[in-house]
Chain A
Amino acid sequence: MTLSEPGTDELHYPLPAPDPLDPPKEWAELRDRCPVATVTLPSGDHAQLLTRYDDVKQVLSDPRFPRVGGGQGARISDSGGVFDSDMASALPQSGPAHQQWRRLVMRWFTAKRMAALRPRIEAMADSLIDEMLAHGQPADLKAALGFPLPVWVICTMLGVPDSDRDRFSYWSDTLLNLTRYGRDEIVAAQTEFLGYMQAHVQAKRAQPGDDLLSELTTEPTADGTLLTDAQLVGTGQGLLVAGHETTANMISKMVAMLLADRRRWEQLLADPSLVRTAVEESLRFDANPGIGMPRYIAEDVALGSAALPAGTTVMCSMGAANRDARAFDGAEEMDLTRSPNPHLSFGSGPHSCLGQALARTELQVTLEVLLRRLPGLDLAVPVEELQRVEGLAVGGLRELPVRW
């Protein structure tokens, strides 16, 4: 294999992966021999791909390095989507203003709030499984449970009626997809979503409910200002985009990994107290987490592996970093008891995932309910026949056929 050096064969990103649950074969070699590698993005622009744990963690943790966008840094793709969205720019992306916004929203995602939400999430999972059972086997666990559950939770938090869940699913799909939809479809979906959310925010201002957006219409930030309508819409969009497809896909990938070697599933049946560490290990071991986090290197920086000049766009591969043997013993083994497990799947530092307690709760609840309701769960097709979703900023499986 030829790794990409300037002037040699180009390394196109995202890297192709041969098997549904295994990482691209380049990861190991890149980590060992070329931890800062020039890659060509779908847009044709170039970036430096980081694959070592320490490098990825350092860049993600450094508040000086913002996300790419708004003309700063390389473009990821030509088709728009989440990385080129104007709506997200209504929210402060860095510095004190970002921290104020984050802390305002953060109160909705504390561990305690999530613990209080847990019974509702469990009831949602149970009801979705009831429906799946009613339709008989085999079933697609992604369509029956993995996809609808997180959007149901987010719609509840945003005060959106259950009847609009399907539209929310579609919007989040188009916003995150980098290749499946054309530019026109993406723009149309963004416009539609924007219109819906503007009307929704105004409705919440007029008649507040017991939800996050209603509270944010009246709750000032630390410096006493209220969020504008555009910022409230941006908050809703951010939470949908960040919280739906990520968790939806992770549910299917987690269950697929646990069933691909059924000894893992049986280990959990024998000892359900391992659910927490099994969820963390699934997050670490995910070989298809999406393209990673692009960051704009605003000032010269020295990483462990190399120095990066200001103006560089880097792509942080958390998936590759999570399998770095420099950071994890037995990095290429899935160990459901691993602890501590400081994986980077939620990022690191001041921009690390705001909703990670929610994601953890959803994943833990899903796994607990599946173990309780469907102990005989198994893949309905050979693991090699599972198909990856192509083109998403968030990686996933096309479907997850199961029996029970």
Chain B
Amino acid sequence: MKVTVDEDRCCGAGQCVMLAPDVFDQREDDGIVVLLEAEPDAAHHTAVREAADVCPAAAITVHEDS
């Protein structure tokens, strides 16, 4: 799994950090997403998919094949 994030789209909702804190963080000065793990371990895949599905700004893209 490969994950990309779009900082311009991000609205700082924080759902991704609440769901997968090992993969996502938020910048302290403005709450915008920080990707900690572009290729997260299998243990995080379910949470990462959920984070992408519920992101209100559609700012997270999950590439399952790579």
Q: Which residues of A contact B (CB under 8 A)?
A: 61, 102-104, 106-107, 109-112, 114, 222, 339-342, 346-354, 356-357, 360
Contacts and interface: CB of A to CB of B under 8 A. Distances in A.
Interface string B9-42: 0011111011001000110111110000000000
A248 to B, nearest CB: 21
A352 B13 contact: yes
A103 B31 CA distance: 7
Given A103-B31, A107-B29, A349 B57 contact: yes
Contacts of B53: 340, 342
B13 A107 contact: no
Interface of B: 11-15, 17-18, 21, 25-26, 28-32, 49-50, 53-54, 56-58
B31 A114 contact: no
A314 B46 CA distance: 36
A354 B17 CA distance: 15
B49 A340 contact: yes
Contact of B12 (A106, A341, A360): A106
Contact of A342 (B25, B26, B31, B54): B54
Q: Is the interface of B mostly helix, strand, loop or mixed?
A: loop
B13 A340 contact: no
21 contacts: A61-B57, A102-B11, A103-B32, A106-B30, A109-B12, A109-B14, A109-B31, A114-B14, A340-B53, A341-B54, A346-B56, A347-B56, A349-B56, A349-B57, A352-B11, A352-B57, A356-B15, A357-B13, A357-B14, A357-B15, A360-B18
Contacts of A340: 49-50, 53-54
Return the 9 tightest CB-CB contacts between A and B, nearest first.
Answer: A106-B31, A111-B14, A340-B53, A111-B17, A103-B30, A357-B14, A352-B56, A106-B12, A110-B26
B14 A110 contact: yes
A153 B32 CA distance: 23
A353 B31 CA distance: 13
B61 to A, nearest CB: 15
Contact of A110 (B17, B57, B58): B17
Nearest to B52: A340
Contacts of B54: 340-342
Nearest to B13: A356
B50 A357 contact: no
A356 B11 CA distance: 11
Nearest to A106: B31
Contacts of B25: 112
Nearest to B32: A103
A112 B33 CA distance: 12
Contacts of B56: 346-349, 352, 356
